[in-house]
Copies of this chain bind each other. A is one copy, B any other.
Amino acid sequence: MTDHDAADAAKPASRRGRPPSTSLSRAKILEAARALIEREGAGALTLRRLGAELGANHTAVLRHFTGKDDIVLGLAEQLIAEVVDGFTPGETWRDTLTALARRLRTACLAHPTIAVLVAHRVSRRDSEFRGADVVVAALQEAGLEPRDRARYYRALVDTALAFASFEAATAALRKSAETEDEAAWQREYLLASPEKYPHLAVVAPYLADIDDEETFETITELLLDAVELRARRAVASSRSR
């Protein structure tokens, strides 16, 4: 009888045990965590909130991750994969390095709250190794010897990673709306006492025009200019030998 069956399905289940259709998975949990963070900020990532989002008990998640920190590390893997997956080197080694740096910045800005959460937790996995190989190959193409390739690899990658996560952090702060608006600090610089800070006062109007993107581009250009200069010297000295 359908009536009987319907009544059976509708009657409250016993207070413990497992409902039929929930069935969590690592992927589902990470997706829910990502959505939760992007919608309500890093502070909203809570086992209880996550459970509610998934329609499950807040402790059910602990069957798939060892704890909250393990979930954060899972988000880190996703972010770095987003940078490296589908990337193809450019025409010149400079193009390659510039494009990769921009992709890292873009990914961090697309998910600023996640970027802040995971910036310092990058577990050395496949995605990261693939990115590193691309960078080192570009420096080899520039004509640098192995030791310099290693030095400049660290200089370039650490700078891009540090700046991108730094920028994401301020973006995430603004998003959480606990702090003042974007242009506030530029206004403060314009108002800073010209008597006490005379050199600063001269350039303050220009400072207001420079955003994070221009700064990122400037840093990248400066670093690659210097690397190119040293590479040319290395090539020249190896030829003269």
Contacts and interface: CB of A to CB of B under 8 A. Distances in A.
A133 interface: yes
Interface in A83-133: 119-121, 124, 129-130, 132-133
A203 B150 contact: yes
A192 interface: yes
A225 interface: yes
A165 B153 CA distance: 20
A231 to B, nearest CB: 12
A200 B154 contact: no
Interface residues of A, number: 61
Interface stretch (A3-11, A27-35, A39-47, A166-174): A166-174
Contacts of A153: 203, 207
A183 interface: no
Contacts of A206: 146-147, 149-151
Nearest to A161: B166
Interface string A180-217: 00000100110011001111101100110110001100
In terms of DSSP, what is the predominant structure of the interface of chain A? helix
Nearest to A144: B203
Contacts of A76: none
B169 A120 contact: yes
A130 B203 contact: no
A62 interface: no
B199 A151 contact: no
B119 A169 contact: yes
Given A69-B178, A150-B203, 13 more contacts: A119-B169, A121-B173, A129-B196, A137-B199, A150-B206, A150-B210, A151-B214, A154-B214, A154-B215, A158-B166, A162-B162, A222-B226, A229-B229
8 contacts: A129-B196, A132-B189, A149-B203, A149-B206, A158-B163, A162-B162, A162-B167, A219-B223
